[in-house]
A and B are shown apart, each in its own frame.
Chain A
């Protein structure tokens, strides 16, 4: 995990939309008035949602002013947490888990597939502008390793072939159904019986 780079091309202005401003005010109410700046994380997330899944500098400044805290402190928070994107990502943002269990189950193959299908370097957006990928630490679904997270969905039990299919789907803007790709029912065992001995089919 290297230091996140701030994108070269930055929009001039950022402002919360009307709905988000309403949400932001609701968030603020959860915190004591003299500790407004505690709301910085939910607000950054809100800004990221509003701005195609990445946070421009203008938004950092806007939030700094919104919470009357120094810009550098907002910047610190935004660079500390990996889930804040400070540069644009694709419409389909593919996060490949490469922590030990996934790695043991072949996450490297998935990374290689991403390099082949999407872009050579991590975080670069594909030529058609639809996808970008990055390696992340544990996504917390080790039992279905290896997995990728695309925006808010998990694609589980992958191998090279299934990954290729999935990525092709995204590259053509036709996403496949998420879930297990070895036909497992969520985290249930695959080969042994799915019901207790002697029990009737549920």
Chain B
């Protein structure tokens, strides 16, 4: 490896590194504003100047490639003087309004002016003033503070894939704006707030809410989608003030989606804080005893076979496990986690997770989407696909029209017929997959919702397995799960499936065969109520509370500990950051209470016991934050995973897997309104209104 001398210390570095990166290897911190690891190099802030031997002038270390034998000094007087000069120029036009600036306390310019700032101004002229720009309901602008680092522009074009930000004018008059001040149309737009090194772009919903040093910081995970981005929850008292991304190179890198970040104001609104029961058609407050009495007496009255449980999209594994234990103890076995009937195969873990892993997307050389819209279903995963597309020109194909995914892809068909041809190896895409080394096939829930859902899942798996794409080294078979609770629920076997019917629960539900329906945080279930007695346990007064007969308040995801498995099978912990409002009880405690009332026995002694028992049921568990271990060979030999009945006999008369020639419509996820927290959030509804407005403008209707 080549060597570079930094402050008289020899350091080995990798080819292609810049001087700044080499300095970081040497443990020398270089101040910077425009440079960012994940963005292209701009080299326009000049803060990272260092001295290079044989160069008369200081060099910008972020833009200078490191070469063998370079001699760099970062602690000389020349460097300090140069940086002080740059800082003075940056501050000539920067307002000194730190006391009223939201970035105060976490501002790069503020921090670095401490080291390189000058204690008085030599600039006697008037400071530049720039009109604020409208950038949508998430980003508050104060453009006078902008130092033209162009990080936001580079982020929007390179990572978000929506080239809407730009710098107009030039020199002193340069201004950062969106085209004609339209709002940014990206699900990643708010990341520019974190990127902005000064207070030019700050968070609009969080404006003047708190100072960073007042907040309690809890490192947790997000449950808005199945990606489970790593987040930091900043709270003040019981209120969650804001949510920020936390670095995890395996999942979200250092970005999070707008919903993850801004649905948090929904945690303060529409909250259920007391138990309610329905009397004469009206919901009235009641005590915990009354509510528990009512539910337990109803459960006693009802035939266990007509009692059903449904779990929502943000339930933790502990909640699911304790709920399942309760239902089992009363003898009910109708339970389900799916919100819509899509086919699943719970037999082995490879059938319901994203096997290639999110990191694997960067390795892959061909990507095929089958009835999936990753942009809205798993935003951070989509950002990774785009990264691979930008860096490697990854060829991307889709069966079904997914709309604008922020990268170019080719639609190769919109019918199940195309999938059938693919499986039979008859069309071009199957040949392309065969020629690829690391292909990825992503099957979306929309495809599994089709009548041929089973055919699509099993057929594609069969095709990939036959061609050696499901091995321990590389697994090309992926399901794109939408909800945070889904993988955990399948692991815990929280579903009602038999060999003949994948949708027992939905059949009974739609025929109104249930007498008692116990909903735990599930608001997206679509059915018509008849005579069911509905118990709703959850954090928000949303769709289902309107038809519920008893309501039990419970904490939201920031208010109780819980395990979640993300779509690639990574087990992570959600940590309690704040307290729930009013007197809600954690989910498992409610089930304990109910069980005690019914059978005089507690389900679990304490949370620790519950967690241990839950952990035991995690399939292929390796460790926290790691991918599951799957032994493909064992699966093949022991469980007959890949011996599906129709193997090689697609056209035989007794084929069990139903194939129907149908059109693949990708169901649009109402991105900003997909769960009860987002629906309670004012910010999210603003975003949604803005987006639908701009959509109307575009289509001209």
**Interface status of B165 (Cβ within 8 A of chain A):** yes
Chain B nearest CB: distance from A56 CB in Å?
A: 13
Our pick among B166, B170, B173, B180 for the contact of A57 (Cβ within 8 Å) is: B180
A-B pairs with beta carbons under 8 A, tally: 37
Interface size on A, residues (CB 8 A): 14
B173 touches A3 (CB 8 A): yes
- Cα distance A79–B169 when bound, in Å? 5
- Cα distance A4–B174 when bound, in Å? 10
**A:65-87 near B, CB below 8 Å:** 70-73, 75-76, 79-80
- Cα distance A2–B170 when bound, in Å? 9
A70 touches B164 (CB 8 A): yes
B169 touches A3 (CB 8 A): yes
**Interface status of B179 (Cβ within 8 A of chain A):** yes
Chain B nearest CB: distance from A72 CB in Å?
A: 4
**Interface status of B163 (Cβ within 8 A of chain A):** yes
- Cα distance A4–B170 when bound, in Å? 10
**Interface status of B689 (Cβ within 8 A of chain A):** no
**Interface status of A196 (Cβ within 8 A of chain B):** no
**Interface status of B168 (Cβ within 8 A of chain A):** yes
Interface centre among A3, A70, A72, A73 (most CB of B within 10 A): A72
**Interface status of B88 (Cβ within 8 A of chain A):** no
Our pick among B163, B169, B171, B173 for the contact of A72 (Cβ within 8 Å) is: B163
Our pick among B167, B170, B173, B179 for the contact of A71 (Cβ within 8 Å) is: B179
Chain B residues whose C-beta falls within 8 Å of the C-beta of A73 in the assembled complex = 163, 166
Chain B nearest CB: distance from A78 CB in Å?
A: 8
A1 touches B173 (CB 8 A): yes
Chain A residues whose C-beta falls within 8 Å of the C-beta of B157 in the assembled complex = 70
- Cα distance A57–B170 when bound, in Å? 19
B175 touches A72 (CB 8 A): no
Taken residue by residue from 663 to 700, chain B's Cβ proximity to chain A (1 for < 8 Å, 0 otherwise) reads as 00000000000000000000000000000000000000
Q: A2-B173, A3-B175, A75-B179 are in contact. Are A70 and B163 (CB under 8 A)?
A: yes
Main secondary structure of the interface of B (DSSP, over half): mixed
Chain B residues whose C-beta falls within 8 Å of the C-beta of A6 in the assembled complex = 180
Chain A residues whose C-beta falls within 8 Å of the C-beta of B179 in the assembled complex = 70-72, 75
A76 touches B168 (CB 8 A): yes
A79 touches B180 (CB 8 A): no
A76 touches B167 (CB 8 A): yes
Chain A residues whose C-beta falls within 8 Å of the C-beta of B167 in the assembled complex = 76
A76 touches B180 (CB 8 A): no
A4 touches B166 (CB 8 A): no
- Cα distance A179–B167 when bound, in Å? 39
Name the residue on B nearest A78 (C-beta): B168
Name the residue on B nearest A64 (C-beta): B179
- Cα distance A80–B178 when bound, in Å? 15
Taken residue by residue from 215 to 229, chain B's Cβ proximity to chain A (1 for < 8 Å, 0 otherwise) reads as 000000000000000
A76 touches B173 (CB 8 A): no
- Cα distance A143–B665 when bound, in Å? 71
A80 touches B168 (CB 8 A): yes
**A:38-74 near B, CB below 8 Å:** 57, 70-73
Chain A residues whose C-beta falls within 8 Å of the C-beta of B170 in the assembled complex = 79-80
- Cα distance A3–B180 when bound, in Å? 14
Name the residue on A nearest B175 (C-beta): A3
Chain A residues whose C-beta falls within 8 Å of the C-beta of B166 in the assembled complex = 70, 72-73, 75-76
- Cα distance A75–B171 when bound, in Å? 16
Chain B nearest CB: distance from A14 CB in Å?
A: 15
**B:169-203 near A, CB below 8 Å:** 169-171, 173, 175, 178-180
29 contacts between A and B (CB under 8 A): A3-B168, A3-B169, A3-B173, A3-B175, A4-B169, A6-B180, A57-B180, A70-B163, A70-B164, A70-B166, A71-B179, A72-B163, A72-B164, A72-B166, A72-B178, A72-B179, A73-B163, A73-B166, A75-B168, A75-B179, A75-B180, A76-B166, A76-B167, A79-B168, A79-B169, A79-B170, A80-B168, A80-B169, A80-B170
Give me the 10 closest cross-chain CB pairs, A-B, nearest first. Answer: A72-B166, A70-B163, A79-B168, A72-B179, A3-B169, A3-B173, A76-B166, A71-B179, A80-B170, A79-B169
